[in-house]
Every structure is written in C-alpha cells, then in structure tokens.
Chain A
Amino acid sequence: MSRDTVISIRGLKNSFGEQVIHEGLDLDVRRGEILGVVGGSGTGKSVLMRSIIGLQTPSAGEIDVLGENMIGREEDEAKNIRRRWGVLFQAGALFSTLTVAENVEVPIREYFPFIKEDLLDEIASFKIAMSGLPANAGPKYPAELSGGMKKRAGLARALALDPELLFLDEPTAGLDPIGAAGFDELIMQLQKRLELTVFLITHDLDTLYAICDRVAVLADRKVIAIGTIPELLALDHPWIQEYFNGPRGRAAALGHEEQAAHD
C-alpha cells in the first residue's frame, strides 16, 4: 500500500444469511481526495462504510485504513485509529441527552481527558462555528434542531479531533437545495483547509459534480467503476449511463457547467 492510499480494500465480502451484499470488492481511496460513492438502493453503500469503520465484520477480505489492518483487531488497538477519523451518520446520530456543544466535547473528553474545561469549551465553540452553526446552537438539545442543523452539529462532532479521514453518509439527504449547496460548500472548504480525505456516500448528483474528485460506482456486489465523472461517462455500463445521463444527471451536469462558466 502506497503512502498516498488512505483506505485500501481487497476482496471484501459481506453477507447477511443467504443474501450476499458484496463479493470480491476492491477499492482504494487516495490521500486528500473527496471520493463519492454512488449506487442504487440496496447495493450496500452504507454496509461498505460500516465495514471500513469496523461496525460490521465482513465475511472475507482485507481492509486497511491509514496503513493499519482493520479486520480482527482488538478494541484497544482500534482506538488509535478511531482517533484519526470522523464519521457523520445519516441522521446525525447526536447523543440526545447532551447539548450540541457537549456532543462535540464527547470525543475530546474521551481521548484527551487532560484538556482543561475552559479550553475544552472554547474548542467546542470554534468547532461549532466552523461547521456553520450559529453560536446560540451550542446549548440546544438535538431535539430542538432542524434536520440541516443536526447534520452540521454531527459534522462538528466528526471534526472534533481534527481527523485526517472523514466519512459522510448522505450528508445532503433531506436538506433543501439551498441548505444542500451550503453543506457542499462547507465540506469542500473544510477539506481544502484541513487537508481531509473524504469518503462520501451520496445520492445527490449536484454534490457529485460540485465537490467530488472521483466517484466510485457500486453495483453487482462490487465497485464496477471508479474515476472522475467524465471518465465514468466514457464507460458503457447501462446503470452508469442511466445515472449520469438521466434527466436529473443532465440537469446537474448543466448546473455544474453554468457554475464553472460563472466562476
């Protein structure tokens, strides 16, 4: 595995009982890129993410993250690697009994118990501001937040430890177009400034065009193609063609071109 590969998956197999989700899946994620992962419903995008972050034990295969093997390791060893990534779950997965600011503090308290309270509170404050939340969101409980704010709060928590690697599971799903565009912009900015590697599951074609460096297509239990969108468009696979050349795909491409021309 080269230094520039952050995640390396070889021959991954996942199955639930009789149902095989992945078989012989290979995937490499390069350092510093935003990799979009697309695929029809039920192709196992979330299962793939859960396998990489160790929430799901695969039936077979090798997964290396940041140069360390992820399969069959002890929980203690896994902690070192967990410190180096942040995960944003689909619905935010904020701890409902804690305020937003306390949520952001949870990972920091867990790994760095010697940081003093006042510094900790300030860290939580600037993480919240960095995620694009207003300052008055800090003392609110997750139940008081809108869907978009929950995602931003989830992002603030995912960024709490300054991770090298960020996993995002459908970050723009359920957001209005303005909110979704704002979130795309935010992720891109953070990725540039913090030099993140981003593993992004999405259905949002606009997101793919706007911020992804490469796109991996999941179908037939494996990654059938990976590359930039023009590279994918050159392929002849019916699902890829339909995905990017359907009415929504064309609209997103058009929007992206106009945006590029505008800039």
Chain B
Amino acid sequence: MAAQSTTAEATPGQHVYRCVGSITIARAASTQREIDALPDPLTLDLSGVQKMDTVGAWVIYRTVRDRGARVVGGGATVEALLKQVAEADSPTQIRPEEPSSALRILREIGEWVAEAGQTLVGLVGFLGAVLVSFATIIRWPKRFRLNAVIQRFDLVGVRALGIIGLMSFLIGIVIGQQGAVQLRQFGAEVYTINLVGRITLRELGPLMTAIMVAGRSGSAFAAQIGTMKLTEEVDAMRTIGVSPIEALVVPRMLAAVIMMPLLSFYSMIVTLIGGGIYVWVDLGIPPLTYIERLQEVVPIRDLWVGLVKAPVFGFIIALAGCFQGMMVEGDSEQVGIRTTAAVVQAIFLVIVVDAVFAVFFSQVGWI
C-alpha cells in the first residue's frame, strides 16, 4: 500500500497538494505534516486517492475548514466520506475543566473536611445500627445466623493461624536478638527474658495480631461487602426483608471480636517460643530455665492487659472494614479505595486506642 504525496506549483501563487495512494489513519501524521508545510492558498488534489478512511477524510476536511483549501478530483466515495465526517464535526472537550491551582487546593481542603465530617457522622450512625442489630439478636436469638458466624470464625481465625504464627515466631527471634545485643553492653543479657516476656504480652501480641487481621480480614470485609453493594446484593437483601447489618456485619463483627483474643494469645505463645529458641541458642539458657524465668519476671497481669485490648482491636477492625464496605457506591474503583481506607483507618485507630489503653493501665497502676 505504497503512497506518495507530491506537491507542485501549478499556477503562480497557488499550491497544490496531490494525494496519491492511500490516505488513512496510518498516514495521518505525515499527511498532516506535509499539508502544514505548504503555504496558503492551497488546493488538495484527491484524484489519485485509492483508499481513504474517516481519519484521512478528517485531515482533508479540517484543512478545508481551517484554511479554506480547495478540493478537486475526489470520486464519489471520497465525497461521501468527506460529507460524513463534516456531519460529525462537533468539537468536544477531552478532559473536564480544571480550576486554577489555588482554587483547586481550597476546593480539595473543603472536600476533605466535608468528607471527614460525613465519614464521622456515617460511622457513628453505622455503629448505632450495628448496636441495634446486636440488641435485636439478643431479644430474638432465632435471628442469629450461627452458620455465617462459624464460617467467619474459620476465615478470620483458623486460616490466619499459619501467617500469624510465622510472623510471631520471627518477631520473637528479632526481639530476643535485638534485646540481647543491647543488654550485653551492660552485661545484663539475662534480662532479655524480661524484655521478650513483658513486651510480647502487653503490646506486641495484640498489636501485631491486630495489624495482621486488619490486613487480612478487615480488607476482605470491605471488599466483600463493597462488591455486594455494587452488584446490588445488599439492595436485594433489604428488599426481601433481610437486614444487611444482621446478615453481613454482625457475623463479621462477632468473628473479629472473638477471634482477636484467641489469635493474640496464640501469637504471644509463638513469640515467646521464638524468643526462647533465640535465648537458648545465643545465650545458652535452656528452655526449662527460660520458662521458670518467665514465670518469675512476667506478672500474670501483663497477660490480662494484652488480652483485654484484643477484642477492642477486633471490634475496631471489623467496624472500619464493614463500614467502608457499606460506603461503596458507583464503580469498581470505589472498592479499591474503600478497602485501602478500611485497612488504614483500622490500623490507625488500633494504635490510637492502644495509646489510650497504655495511659489508662499506667493510671490504674497495672504497670
């Protein structure tokens, strides 16, 4: 499909652009460049055109429109194509208009504030709806969906054992190693056991578990419920008379609240094992001694401090996940945005609440 375009000066002052062969989208860029290079007044000779498509026709048409060029020699097909693109000439904007940057920053701040306010109000409303649902279920226990809850237990709890175990074991080793290196400078490496024991039970166990559960299950809650919102499953439930909060949110809430302390406890034990193995290998403290030392230096109260926090973390994770899932509207992109928001919010709130707990426990003397 070789094509050439030649130019010739037929009459003085009159430039002729002669198209030969095909004038299609494949040659649009070069044809346009060649036409642009020619000065006015211009005549376009199309007698040699064998193949033309709408883009080729458009290049001719815009030259006629913008520069008042004369067209000669087009056959019936060419004429029809030119007429057709002329009919479709209605300039459209490509992108929505962007306001100036100062205005945009102001607008974004405004939108952000409004959204934060709406989220807060929405979250409080959602919390209320969840509590009402819990109350309803307590009054009419028949509405409790045992199967759904058990299924969530499996997904949130049992299936998380592997990854949480691995993570906790490695954390135990890291804490033991870091502690030993630092404490050795003072000749106090035996206190590594105090460090591992207390930090694990009080903070790391529930906190690391919460982060893992937020990433694993909180995101899944948001994505599942969000997708169900998009496919109108949630609307279908409402129409049938099933409360989506009862059917979707309550089982997930319960699963997170009940599984979090269990997973935290499991995480604590595995972390202690990891720390114990490191202490055994590096410091030569045998496991039995390690366990005895743990019993001496770690008060049982530390365990309670850790385990009291866990269900609260679970509640926050499930609340953020389910709430963000329910907020999904419009298109599939929203599911991604809301899932991210669920995880970020959950982890942020967990850390805030953890700080509040720390202050509280030190005030009541549980140090």
Q: Which residues of A contact B (CB under 8 A)?
A: 96-97, 99, 101-102, 105, 108, 111-112, 114-116, 119, 121-130, 134-140, 142-143, 161-162, 193-194
Contact = CB atoms under 8 A, between A and B. Distances in A.
Contact of B28 (A119, A127, A193, A194): A119
A125 B94 CA distance: 8
A99 B95 CA distance: 6
- 3 residue pairs, one from A and one from B, having the closest CB atoms: A138-B92, A162-B53, A114-B29
A142 B332 CA distance: 11
Contact of A123 (B55, B330, B331): B55
Given A114-B29, A194-B54, A125 B91 contact: yes
A140 B26 CA distance: 28
A112 B28 CA distance: 9
A116 B34 CA distance: 13
B59 interface: yes
B84 A193 contact: yes
Contacts of A193: 80-81, 84
Nearest to B93: A139
Contacts of A138: 92-94
Interface of B: 24-26, 28-30, 32, 53-55, 58-59, 62, 80-81, 84-85, 87-97, 330-333
B24 A162 contact: yes
7 contacts: A96-B333, A115-B28, A119-B29, A124-B94, A126-B85, A138-B94, A139-B92
Nearest to A101: B94
A123 to B, nearest CB: 6
Nearest to A119: B32
Which applies to chain B's interface (DSSP): helix, strand, loop or mixed?
helix
Contacts of A116: 29, 32
Contacts of A143: 330-331, 333
Contacts of A140: 96
A130 B29 contact: no
Given A115-B29, A161-B25, A136 B92 contact: yes
Contacts of B81: 193
A112 B87 CA distance: 25
A142 B331 CA distance: 9
Contacts of B87: 129
Nearest to B330: A143
A162 B55 contact: yes
A101 B29 contact: no
Given A125-B89, A135-B93, A139-B92, 8 more contacts: A96-B333, A99-B94, A99-B96, A111-B25, A126-B58, A127-B54, A136-B93, A138-B94
A156 B62 CA distance: 20
B94 A121 contact: yes
Contacts of A99: 94-96
Nearest to A138: B92
